[in-house]
Structure 1
Amino acid sequence: MKLYVTCFFILLITITLFSCVDSKVENNSVVSYPKDLTQLHKNVLNYFVNQRNDDDEIKQLLQNFQEDGSWSTIDYTNKIRGGWPVKKHLKYVQQFAINYKTKTSKYYLDKHLSKKIHKGLNYWLDNDFLSTNWHDQHIGVPELLLPTLFLIENELTKQQLNKATVLLHRARIKMSGQNKVWLATNVMLRSLLLRKPDSVAIASKAIQNELQIATGVGVKSDWSYHEHGAQLQFGNYGLSYLEDMIKCYTLVSNTSFQFDESKINFLRNIILKGQQWIIYNNIYDVSASGRQLFNNEQRKKAARLEICIQKMKNLDKKFSKEYDKAIDTKMLSGNKHFWKSDFQVHRTEDFYFSVKMSSKRVVGTESVNKENVQGYYLGDGVSILSTTGKEYENIFPFWDWKKLPGTTIIQDNKPLPIIKFSGFKTNSVFVGGVSNGKNGIAVLDYNRDGLKAKKSWFMFDDKIICLGSGISTNANHQVVTSINQSFLKGSVVIGKDGVLETSVRRKRGFTPDWILHDNIGYLFPKGGNANLSTQILEGSWNKVAKRYRPVILTEHIFKLWLSHGAQPKNASYRYILVPNASEEKMKSLHKNNPFKIMNTKVQQSVVSSDEKKAGFVFYKKGTTTIKEGISVDAPCVILLEEKLDYLDLAISDPSQKLTKIGVSVKGNYSIKNSNYKNGKTHFVIHLPQGEQAGKTVQLQLKRN
């Protein structure tokens, strides 16, 4: 008997000691799903587990975790509309759950971490924290809560699941565009969790239905993206749309709910014909970022897009080479005009340039949730030129928002109005561009707040010719055209009559031949009333988005602009942007004028010195006075390039109202339905209609 008791206690002690060696304990409770949901459930678990966090992050989160299930670093009373920080609680709990169920994590099935997951989950479920933004309750909270519920489903109590279900049911399939995708994804995953295959099918279908060219918000026929009306939203809603579509495509793969095979083609076009155009040197174009002008956001968006491209490379293996090229963000060269968004990009391996415009058709910008509170003029011809990608990275606290690069603006002392998302548009109608894939022209017949200006950008190879005419207003304030506003890097060189001036900090009212700063040259064919500043400026992120504290920062900023005086009548400007310039190059360009330019209220034209390239903006019907022989019977934009045995002609209607344009070209050419008379070839071009209105028509005119 003694021996039996002794052996029993030895065995008991051994078992106790063994159980204390490792706190990782397998939970034997089994989670079962109906047969038609089994693969989807498996996909969902695999997807979330693959989001594993670094164990050091979990360690840090544990240090700030409190006994009641909250985090000491979160202010739970905060109800700010934009970037609601209280949601971080659910994100942290989710991170716990992911590593808890990841076999390669040291926290895998750690019972101490399990207790904290439940405490954190209960803290939220018991308090049901609410912000003042509908988006958080219907989209954000369910989206963050669902992964945790799936990962620890075998440990959930009935009470936890019931409380969570109440929160999840706030998501309903409604709205359109990315808002609908967010909501429908929440509904699909909620329906999976509740074992409702019919609801899963409905939600999956709703998501797939957004993978098509939209007449309203969503993906447009030029592969740009709109949300909150006809507003370019590449990097805000558009990037989230791409991420979520790839996510949903992955989740429903090999299930009865999987996407139609054609949808992968659609996703490919979103990247290769849309998104990849607006990222350069791993920086996302500020003009394509929507209202999200946040600290380090341009680099974060670029990183998110790269992840999407990597995922698509695995899903769409036949096009892996194209995705590899897209990942190398400096490789893409050419010109693309997004006719649905009044936006044009011109780029090579050595530089990136974009013009963002707006019109009666296209909303220029928005300010929502106290974000982008200074962006009143962000859709008024903002011209971004970059050779490194860093010229404008995090520059927003220091920008003079009435001197945005490329814009012509009245310099009054009034605070900038706050633009809502309800659809503010300018009075401009003739806004758009033409592109032959290599070069292009953008035009903005500007009409806003009593200021009018004919503005155009001719993007020819490695130079951008910027023209303005008819600048007029009755406002008794200075009007300026801002050429650039970027971080100061190195010295500024001013060339005038063969004399170089360096180390200039500030200069007003001078007429330079050219200026060079940070490898970007500015050539002035006819001088101009130029102004330069390279001063240290104060700024604060709080002036850009109210989520930031009003901390004062300082930076050296390069500002260059032209003055047109107060109450200008028919003022004009012309300057040429020269990326990757040098002193020698600028001297040569000034000496050997590379272009013939005409700049009036009725026509703006640029012809290369060898006359092989030419561009024309006709604000009225008429005939060119340089490179004579081009006539049109309606306003339009034309791009010409001389080839060996033919003339390449690209034409568009920026107003998007015309059905056809009559054109006459000097010389005898072969083209369908044309006639040759009095030394000219006359023909009619029928223009795209509907969703294609404003798109370039490209023709080859063969010489006879």
Structure 2
Amino acid sequence: MKRLTVIILFFCCASFMAYAQNDIQIVKERIYKEVMKPEVDDAQIKTLLQTLKDDGTWPGIDYSNVSREGFEHRLHTSYLVSLARAYKNKSSEYYKKKKVKAAIELGLKNWVEHDYFCENWWHNQIGTPNYMVTLMLIIGDELDKELVNKTQPIIGRAHINAGGARPGGDRIKIAGIQAKNCLFLGDDEKFDEVVRVIENEIKYVEWIGAKYGYGFRKIVGGFENRSYEGRGIQFDNSFHHRTDGVNNTLSYGLSYAAAFAEWAVYTTGTKFSFSEEKLDQLIDYFLDGICKTSVFGKVPDVGAKNRSISREGAVNPYDDVLPSKLISVSDYRHIELQEIIDVRNNQAKPTLAHATFYWDSEHFSFQRPDWFASVRMYSTRNYNMEQPYNSEGFLNHHRGDGTNHISVSADEYKGLAPVMDYQKIPGTTVMQKEEMPGANELQKLGLTDFVGAATDGKYGAVAFDFKSPHDPLIARKAWFFFDKEYVCLGTGISCSNAELPVVTTLNQCILRGDVILASGGKSSVIEKGETEYKNVDWIYHDKLAYVFPEPTTVQLKNNIAKGSWYRINRQTDSPKDEIERDVFELYLDHGKRPSEANYQYIVVPAPNLEQVQNNTSKNNITVLQNSPAVQAVWQKELQMCQAVFYSEGTLEVNDDITVECGNPGVLIAKTDGTKITEITVSDPARKNAKMLVSIPGKVNAKAANLTVLWNEGTGMSDLLIDLPTGNYAGSSVTIKL
């Protein structure tokens, strides 16, 4: 009996080992199939073979330049991989050709002998190891063994304890390289360990300031202290790559999601599969973070971009690869993923309507099926912009100053970056300097606490108590979003510099078609140029109208702008040729040394001029107040009031409704015209646990986060609303009355 048990155990273990080996082989074959997907260009292979020098180098690559802006060596490693694909691809005329293999070994020999090391750690721990391990997976088993062994220390720089493998940052990518190397080496045990590291990187992380308090910025080392973590998916579904609080959802956060999805596909159906919990978290992040920070879920929001805005193709549409991978491994939120796939393939129009505030990143996005808008801000809780690493995006000083982009066609800003006036970013109020500060003066910590938004998921009110870290300038700015338009208010605009003017930019985008201006009831097409216009009622350009509740003086440019990619990106391969673009630029000039200046305008996505001429939006909007104490609007069609209270105060909405706010906050009140039926509030400063709002009439509503006190003497109900705390401080709460 004992012997029989031993035999059974032996066969069970053998069966399990075979099963595990089978799973390993499945994963390895899937990876091989993926790395072999790119088509082989035989013409390129011919050129590579003909131009390869006897020392294993290629002409056109500056092997002496290992700077952050240079390191053209990445071309060398990519050429090796291209040659390997040709060697292994049966459809290539170079399939199994000895001269191809010899060229690979010659080029690889040069690399391992010189071990080219870049000043940018990324190439050393990600870029080069990734090319090398890909080369090994394709052809490593046929290469000279000694040469293969010499690649291992280079590939080995990508490991889960490497300096660049920061949690929530590049750890998944680095771990993925290590996992692939484990497969190549046949180290099954280590492979299993690394795959679990990848899986466990999908998690929500506490925003850095939540644990250390808003005074954390004053601690020695501040946000730069790497031991404080805070990197990864935030509880609001934005993404922080570093501890500066900058929104990296569409840069590092996108590649983070793509790397995880890649391994989810590689391991699905095997013993290495990821848990449903982790897959669900990633899908939530993709749909509620990445997609809602994108125009129609398809094109990156320019306002959410950092230094990558200075790269060609930075605002190109996304493909369907990532959502297709997610939908292949999970049924969770299947319908929404399928819509994103269809939209990205131009097989369906978007149906999504949302108002989303990312309170950990101070970013707001608003979507309707036919238009998209966003607002980017910063506070004492985060920095204004990513550092201009690697000499990229070094004119981005004001791209967080209440940036407000608006899209109807989703390509209004495509190709604008090299010719843009970076002191006239859409939505911003900026002192016009003779030249921008240096790149070392770009990233700044915010100076005010009261920055945030209230949203019920469909509508949103945004508040920015703005104090420029670059200029002697302050302003209070607010945006109020409805179905067919949004309202932009600015007040208290003051600057102590008497030499330079201050302007608020409504938009700066690619000029397409006529610009039509209305004044005194008459409209006309305006000629190209740069001109001041007085008593303007509205301006229409490219399916967007800018409507002024009161006749306003505006500055308008619809003319050629010049620049170059090298002007904003000093990488060695950045094009230096001068570029010309026709640009539309609309702004308000507040003059030199403004004191308590203000503005108000309505942005209306309008498919045709007739809709603007009917004044529908202007008739629906009433600016109730635009002062340093309160900024508020009324939307007649929706019977909705949106307001920002910078201090406790009273707002008369109409003859029947008055709202008293007992502490600073943002408020959305839905009404039936005579009484409030629903209220949404938030505390942008995140200093209060409760918000006190008093409204007319006796309220009988009951909710776990609501206390109601009836004041018979005033005829008002005092609503004491519990505000979100902890990881959700700064988010909104909605009460149905």
User: By the TM > 0.5 criterion, same fold?
Assistant: yes
Give, in whole Å, the separation in 1 of the partners of 2:106 and 2:18: 30
Match for residue 250 of structure 1 among 265, 287, 307: 265
Which among 341, 348, 352 is matched to residue 372 of structure 2?
352
Match of 1:679 among 711, 715, 718: 715
Aligned to 1:697: 733
Instruction: Tell me which residue corresponds to 1:518.
Output: 542
| 2:732 maps to amino acid | T
Runs of 4+ in 1 over 6 A off after TM superposition: none
What CA distance in whole angstroms lies between the structure 1 residues aligned with 2:426 and 2:24? 49
Match of 1:625 among 643, 652, 677: 652
Cα-to-partner distance string for 1:255-295 (whole Å, 9 max, x where unaligned): 44432231110111011111111333642112223211144
What is the CA-CA distance between 1:47 and the residue it aligns to?
2.0
Aligned pair 1:570/2:617, yes or no? no
Paired position in structure 1 for 2:146: 159
Question: Which residue identity does 1:62 align to in structure 2?
Answer: K
Does the alignment pair 1:434 with 2:454?
Answer: yes
Q: Is contact 2:651–2:659 with CA below 8 Å preserved after alignment?
A: yes
SS state at 1:130 partner: coil
2-structure distance, mates of 1:587, 1:409:
31
Supply the distance in 1 between the matched residues of 2:136 and 2:18 (Cα, whole angstroms): 18
**What is the DSSP-based 3-state SS (H/G/I as helix, E as strand, rest coil) of the residue aligned with 1:665?**
strand
Q: Distance in 2 between matches of 1:455 and 1:83?
A: 41
Q: Alpha-carbon deviation of 1:333?
A: 1.9
For 1:545, the equivalent position in structure 2 comes to 569
2:505 counterpart of 1:475: no
Moved more, 520-529 or 195-204: 195-204
TM-score, normalised with respect to structure 2: 0.86
User: Measured at CA, do residues 266 and 62 of structure 1 come closer, stay the same or move farther in structure 2, by a change above 3 Å?
Assistant: farther
1:55–1:472: structure 2 CA closer, same or farther, 3 Å change rule?
Answer: closer
Deviation at 1:209, TM superposition (A): 2.5
Q: Does 1:125 align with 2:112?
A: yes
Residues 1:294 and 1:414: Cα distance change in structure 2 (over 3 Å) = closer
Q: Match of 1:361, SS?
A: coil
1:43–1:252 contact (8 Å) kept in structure 2: yes
SS of corresponding position for 2:169:
helix
Q: Does 1:688 align with 2:724?
A: yes
* Distance in 1 (alpha carbons) for counterparts of 2:22 and 2:602: 62
Residues in 2 aligned to 1:592 and 1:167: alpha-carbon distance in whole angstroms: 64
Query: Could you say which residue in structure 2 is the equivalent of 1:462?
Result: 484
2:46 aligned residue (59, 62, 86): 62
Q: CA deviation at 1:595?
A: 1.3
Of 289-298 and 598-607, deviating more is 289-298
Letter in 1 for 2:633: V
Give, in whole Å, the separation in 2 of the partners of 1:186 and 1:336.
Answer: 35
Partners of 2:532 and 2:700 lie apart in 1 by 54
2:691 aligned with 1:661: yes
Q: Measure, in 1, the Cα distance between the counterparts of 2:194 and 2:729.
A: 33
State the partner residue of 1:636.
Answer: 665
Partner of 1:5: none
Report if the CA contact (8 A) 2:602-2:618 is conserved. Answer: no
| Partner of residue 288, structure 1 | 304
Partner SS state of residue 184, structure 1: helix
Change (3 A) 1:105 1:52: farther
1:235 alignment partner, SS class: coil
Change in 2 beyond 3 A, CA 1:552/1:451: same
Greater alpha carbon shift after TM alignment, 313-322 vs 575-584:
313-322
**Whole-angstrom CA distance in 2 between matches of 1:254 and 1:90:** 33
Q: Which one-letter code corresponds to 1:63 in the other structure?
A: T
* Residues 417/429 of structure 1: CA separation in 2 closer, same or farther (3 Å cut): farther
Partner of 1:399: 420
Distance 2:331 2:175 in 1: 28
The aligned counterpart of 2:621 is 595
- 1:488-511 residue CA offsets vs partner (Å, 9 max, x unmatched): 111111101112232333221523
Distance 2:249 2:196 in 1: 24
Shift of 1:248: 2.1
Inter-partner Cα distance in structure 2 for 1:561 and 1:495? 16
Shift of 1:523: 0.4
Q: 1:508 corresponds to which residue? A: 532
Q: Distance in 1 between matches of 2:95 and 2:359?
A: 51
**Kept after mapping to 2: 8 A contact 1:665/1:680:** yes
Match of 2:510 in 1: 487
- How many residue pairs end up in the alignment? 666
Which deviates further from its counterpart, 633-642 or 50-59? 50-59
Report the counterpart of residue 238 of structure 2 in structure 1.
Answer: 224
- Partner-residue secondary structure (3-state), 1:88: helix
Three-state SS of the structure 2 residue aligned to 1:233 is coil
C-alpha distance in structure 2 between counterparts of 1:35 and 1:152, whole Å: 26
Deviation at 1:539, TM superposition (A): 0.7
SS in 2 for 1:273: helix
Amino acid aligned to 2:505: S
Q: Which residue of 2 aligns with 1:46?
A: 30
Query: Is the 8 Å Cα contact of residues 663 and 682 (structure 1) preserved in structure 2?
Result: yes
Structure 1 unpaired stretches of 5+? 1-32
Aligned pair in 2 of structure 1 residues 37, 156: CA closer, same or farther (>3 Å)? farther
CA contact (8 A) 1:376 1:417 kept: no
Unaligned regions of 5+ residues in structure 2, if any? Answer: 1-16, 207-229
